[in-house]
Amino acid sequence: MLMVRVAVENTVYHFDKDFDYAVPASLAEKAVPGCRVQVPFGTANRVCQGMILSVHEAEGNAKIKFLQAVLDEAPLLSNEMLFLIPWLKERYYCTLFDAVRLLLPAGLTYRMQSIYALAVGVTKETVQTLPPEKQAAALPLLRQSSLEKGKLLRQAGLSPDSLVLDDLCRNGILQRTMDPVRRMGDASMKMVRLHEPLPDPLKLTPRQREVFHVLQDAGCASVKEVCYFTGVTPAVIKNMTAHGVCDEYEQETYRTPYLTGECTETGEQTPIHLSPEQETAYEHLLAAYRAGEATYSLLYGVTGSGKTSVYLCLIDQVLQDGRDVILMVPEISLTPQSVHIFQQRYGKKVAVFHSGLSVGERMDEWKRVKRGEATVVVGTRSAIFAPLAHIGLIIVDEEQESTYQSESSPRYHAKEVAWFRCRYHRALLLLASATPCVETYYAAQTGKIGLETLSQRYGEAQLPEVCICDMNEELRNGNASVLSWPLLTALRENLEQKRQSILLLNRRGYNTFASCQDCGHVMTCPNCSISLTYHAANNRLMCHYCGYSVPMTAECPECHGKHLRYTGAGTQKAEEQLQELLPRARILRLDADATMSRYAYEDKLRQFADGEYDLIVGTQMVAKGLDFENVTVVGVLSADQSLYNDDFRSTERTFDLLTQVVGRAGRGRFRGRAFLQTFTPENPVFALAASQNYPAFYQQELPLRKLMLYPPFADLCVVGFVGSNEQEVRGGSMVFLQQLRQLAKTEYRQLPLRVLNPSPAHILRAGGKYRYKLLLKCRNSRLFRQMISRLLVHFAGEKKFKHVTAFADMNPDTVL
């Protein structure tokens, strides 16, 4: 008997595996790996969606269930992607179908829809004998043969959680079927062409004759184009179709983001002139690629050193070989600039992947790549799953960024998936950054991966002059504004010289803290252990974790006193103070509040590039990747902000942010200046960031990591526990620890482990859920992952902790 192994939707982790199903003879040709299917699942045989992972022959038995339907005409997933699914499950503790979802665009997935109809033999008279509520549910089905559950409930005037339909099914009045429905349909355009053969005799009105001549010349055209060029209405074309002169048909079109009328089919590959350093790096990387084996390299270069030029030369060679390329960028905000560069050079071969696109756009970009129409993919971490068939090069730009790691299940890291794909395709994986993460640079220094260095800025551009501003001194001199005197002076000089500036303040909102001076009460979120931020734009206090908001108040909710004090400056307050201090300046604020509408970020940056603004003040989105020749002053308004967080990576993260934002200045022919405002100017991280001296920072950071046994000297596994009751969450974490001790002492004695006792998360309560964490310093081996998987499965089966969710996150960028 032909059998298939299927990953089934909506299974739970502790009960997940590939399930065997028999294939009916009628589906034998269609049931191939990579196709989605409809299967009965569980004791109730509810209809579920699944993905065929493999096909095999086996002896049948009475208990085996049969496939009900194959939903795809051709496989959606290649052999590579089918190998990737179990790898994702084993490495990131997710279900098989969770892994399948990562590989498919949201619009292409199906949802199972309940369809109701009257049971055979049920008549109008039968319906009229039912109680009023049940009668109201059955009456619409006398008029229509079947209805989807939501529509039927609305027509019957019943609530979405009503059980009336279930009762009617049990009583044999209604019958229910489950149908798969695509979440997003294909986009199409109505086309028209001349019918073959044409009717004889051919009688045409003058207007029809115009349409006839256009179609004779063009062969076929969209109805919209024919109407535009001839001035006729669609009714004229419809009439010609009715008389057998024309044929109308639907042709699939793509909802393609960012493509403009200026974008050519193939692009324009202008020559790139490399410096001697760039040429050396390029030659070494090209040789690694040409070796024909999976290769892993780091391209370390100071800001403005021309790493992108090296990428482009490499990509040219890879495309000439008929192979494909993925370029990953860390944030949506960097995608438009990257896409513009790549579309200018490679035209419509470029596809874009990121979460800011509409569902339809994401689906159509996926289809273009799947069909081989796009061979260069640019995007954020989801781009790593692009269905390219012949990958030759994967580039991870700003490889140190935390956004390459997913914060929700499956908690995959795009760099690890990239290495899996490069090994499969025998391709080159290139990580690039001016501030690589310590683990990557350590791997390069110890020879585990290749290293290429660009130590100088490209051309005549020089590293900016950096001033470290002591804000303690500013306060003693009576300056309580967001700007130090040196920075304010530099901004005024820049305005006079018609140059531009960028200011970083990595906090949005107006005030970041509100407290009562009478009783000391702090305005906090009822759902999260965090203070509310005041936003002047909508005059509300808002939580940046769960979105809770209330109108601004002058009265304390605890003691009803009238002395609420608002402190801490966010980007909105900085913008207001800047406008007062620099009244002639045209100021652009860039943060999540100012860029909520679609394409707002790229539109605002385009205006800045065109000289419509003099100064940008914004959050982290202005710190990286921006390249404006006229920017000669940058400032960090609160450089201490991320330095003293409760996280072993806080120093590294601060150095990275400061180095990157300093690098935005002086990237053209004008010398740049940067200002770091701090209350702890003696901290060595500021001097190192000012000099862009990453090797010195690395040498300072590495001994601390070794002493504390943190990455790269050990892997860090964080087991998180989440639930609505704090005592249950804490208790669950302690029971998990006991089970871990028992297993580690008996079956996994050979594993090197250091375990820290469970502790509250940095933000104990978020979104109404309490959170605890258990830290394990370990080696991320297959045996270790097997142990953690067993513990998670066992914990999920504990009935007393059924309201507590446990998950494992390996080497997270931010510890819970």
CA-CA-CA-CA dihedral for 235, 236, 238, 243, to nearest 10: 140
**Tokens linked to 327:** 């370029």
Distance (Å, whole) CA 34 – CA 54: 8
Q: Are 212 and 245 in contact (CB under 8 A)?
A: yes
Which of 649, 578, 574 shows the shortest CA–CA distance to 619? 574
Q: Are 453 and 301 in contact (CB under 8 A)?
A: yes
CA 700, chain centre distance (Å): 33
**Tokens linked to 186:** 């294909």
Kindly report the CA angle at 437 between 468 and 679, in degrees rounded to 5?
A: 25
Residue type, 239: N
Please state the three-class secondary structure of 534-582 as a single string.
Answer: EECCCCEEECCCCCCEEECCCCCCCCCCCCEEEEEECHHHHHHHHHHHC
Q: Is 516 annotated as a binding residue?
A: yes
Q: Are 334 and 605 in contact (CB under 8 A)?
A: no
Q: Phi/psi of residue 596, each to 5°?
A: -75, -35
Q: Is 246 annotated as a binding residue?
A: no
Q: Between β-strands 110-118 and 46-57, what pairing exists: parallel, antiparallel or unpaired?
A: unpaired
End-to-end alpha-carbon separation of the chain, Å? Answer: 49
Which of 629, 647, 666 shows the shortest CA–CA distance to 813? 647
CA 648, chain centre distance (Å): 25
The DSSP bridge partners found for residue 324 are 391
Q: Is 717 annotated as a binding residue?
A: no
Q: Is 519 annotated as a binding residue?
A: yes
Which of 37, 11, 46 shows the shortest CA–CA distance to 166? 46
Q: Is 528 annotated as a binding residue?
A: yes
Q: Is 422 annotated as a binding residue?
A: no
Helices (H), 387-434: 414-425
Q: Are 675 and 484 in contact (CB under 8 A)?
A: yes
Q: Which residues contact 332 (CB under 8 A, 6 or more apart)?
A: 354, 355, 356, 380, 601
635, HSE (Cβ side, Cα atoms, 13 Å): 25
Distance (Å, whole) CA 541 – CA 566: 11
Q: Is 48 annotated as a binding residue?
A: no
**Tokens linked to 228:** 């535009």
Q: Is 556 annotated as a binding residue?
A: yes
Q: Are 51 and 180 in contact (CB under 8 A)?
A: no
Tell me if residue 602 falls in helix, strand or coil: helix
Q: Are 507 and 568 in contact (CB under 8 A)?
A: yes
Q: Phi/psi of residue 93, each to 5°?
A: 55, 50
Distance (Å, whole) CA 648 – CA 757: 17
Distance (Å, whole) CA 694 – CA 685: 10
- How many of the other CB atoms lie within 10 Å of CB of 90? 14
Preceding peptide of 712 cis, ω within 30°:
yes
**Tokens linked to 389:** 């068939």
Binding annotation: 516, 519, 525, 528, 543, 546, 556, 559
Binding positions for Zn(2+) are: 516, 519, 525, 528, 543, 546, 556, 559
